[in-house]
Structure 1
């Protein structure tokens, strides 16, 4: 539900179009009269709220500790690279792909489950250097 809501905000609202345009050319969006730094601050706050929600949802399952996100950081990097930088849909597809790879490998070869996500990332980068749904240049 949160992913669909975020997709709608990014693709179907004026805020989303300001965010997408601002990521391409901050100066041009500023010339159109949009306060880009306010928009980026709002997006940062939205990202922090999403990360907080993820922490709240993960804490009962994995336990709460100060460095509980360190393990997820490497996986998140792999997901973004596989999906393509700047692609929300790519991040969703990459997350699902990595989740499936990790789950399958946990049943087939538990010690190599962590290794396989990096092998999947290398394979995607060899076949599609911009990620699965990333844009060129």
Structure 2
């Protein structure tokens, strides 16, 4: 089974890799636009899966990552930590709750994220029909 993680440079990836180590995963593809994060987190994931059947592959190319995947997991943060900081601080300046998942900050995050998720879904549909997303 090929599992692709879009946003694979996330600090959540090692925990995910630990869980996937218990499954019959042949290939874990980590895709992230940030090469430095991808290399650091990918190296850790590869060490965690050493001795298992799964091999870890790193890429910055979405099409390469999703082509032929059996499952595609998304853990992306459009705009990175800088955007999160804004989502959690500017609502406070307006007298609202400063939270990245609800309220004004959550709406801002959704408006950035939804178009990207739809773009990814289109690529998955085109390159790996029937894949779990």
TM above 0.5, yes or no, is no
- Structure number with the higher helix fraction is 1
- Computing the radius of gyration over CA atoms, which structure comes out larger, 1 or 2? 1
